[in-house]
């Protein structure tokens, strides 16, 4: 385990405890994801935070101004603490560690659902119900549009693949014909 992973896990645990106290565990996860994406997409923000000539107070003010009212105070505090300690490079690891803690504690798993078109809310609810029952856990749908699929869907939960795509069904049918021919 790398040093960054150890450090991010420690911060993720503290953030999880604060979010639990506020009853905002999953909201905090979404907020953290948005912050990680903001830093990944905004080179100016990353450069500003990484510049040693800029005081921590100026960096803290920018972070608080940019994210005030959009993310929780414990998350802002965690982000500014990491910046103060020169650990702004582990935001992605922090998100991974936090998501892992949420998944383990709340028995939530990500279901990567590949479809030829975006799922609407009703279809996502059906996936959640069906695969939640199969897995015995709460499902969080990550819909991935795959234009190569002709129809149906593929669902990946952990190391399990549920292939209900048209091409998957045709492949299984072809294999069954081959077994019968032998």
Q: Tens digits of per-residue pLDDT, 117-138?
A: 999 999 999 999 999 888 888 8
Q: Indicate if 120 and 88 belong to the same structural domain.
A: no
pLDDT at 107 over 80: yes
Among the candidates 50, 85, 104, a domain finishes at 104
Both 116 and 88 in a single domain?
A: no
Confidence at residue 103, expressed as pLDDT on a 0 to 100 scale: 86
Confidence band for 1, pLDDT divided at 50, 70 and 90: low
pLDDT at 180 over 90: no
Residues 28 and 97 reside in one and the same domain = yes
Q: Examine the pLDDT at 99 and tell me if it is beyond 70.
A: yes
Q: Is pLDDT at 18 greater than 70 in this prediction?
A: yes
- Residue 122 sits in the same domain as residue 99: no
CA dist list (Å): 103 to 2, 43, 181: 21, 30, 46
pLDDT at 98: 93
Average pLDDT over residues 146-168: 84
C-alpha 16: how far from chain center? 15
What CA–CA distance (Å, rounded) separates 19 from 22? 5
> Above pLDDT 70, what percent of the chain?
99
Q: How many domains does the chain have?
A: 2
Which of 54, 84, 104 marks a domain boundary?
A: 104
The pLDDT of residue 124 is 92
Question: Which pLDDT score is estimated for 172?
Answer: 74
- Residue at a domain's end among 53, 76, 104: 104
Report the mean per-residue pLDDT for the chain.
Answer: 88
Q: pLDDT at position 109, please?
A: 85
Give me the domain span that covers residue 118.
108-181
Cα four-point dihedral sign 137, 142, 146, 150: positive
Pair 45, 122 in one domain? no
Q: Rounded distance, CA 98 to CA 9, Å?
A: 7
Model pLDDT for residues 62-90, shown as the tens digit of each residue: 999 988 889 999 999 999 999 999 998 89
Q: 168 and 121 in one domain? A: yes
Does residue 46 carry a pLDDT above 70? yes
Q: Which residues are within 8 A (CB) of 143 and not within 5 positions of it... i.e. 6 or more apart?
A: 113, 115, 118, 119, 124
Question: Within this chain, do residues 17 and 50 fall inside the same structural domain, yes or no?
Answer: yes
How many other CB atoms are there within 10 angstroms of residue 25's CB atom? 20
């Amino acid at each position: 385990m790398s040093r960054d992973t150890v450090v991010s896990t420690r911060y993720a645990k503290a953030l999880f405890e604060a979010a639990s106290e506020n009853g905002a565990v999953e909201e905090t996860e979404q907020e953290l994801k948005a912050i990680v994406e903001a830093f990944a997409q905004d080179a100016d923000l990353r450069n500003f935070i990484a510049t040693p000539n800029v005081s921590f107070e100026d960096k803290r003010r920018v972070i608080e101004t940019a994210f005030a009212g959009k993310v929780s105070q414990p998350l802002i505090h965690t982000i500014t603490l990491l910046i103060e300690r020169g650990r702004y490079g582990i935001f992605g690891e922090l998100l991974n560690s936090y998501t892992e803690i949420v998944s383990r504690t709340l028995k939530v798993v990500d279901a990567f659902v590949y479809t030829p078109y975006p799922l609407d809310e009703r279809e996502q609810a059906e996936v959640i119900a069906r695969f939640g029952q199969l897995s015995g856990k709460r499902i969080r749908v990550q819909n991935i549009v795959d234009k190569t699929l002709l129809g149906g869907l593929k669902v990946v939960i952990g190391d399990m693949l549920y292939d209900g795509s048209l091409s998957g069904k045709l492949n299984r049918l072809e294999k069954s014909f081959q077994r019968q021919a032998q």
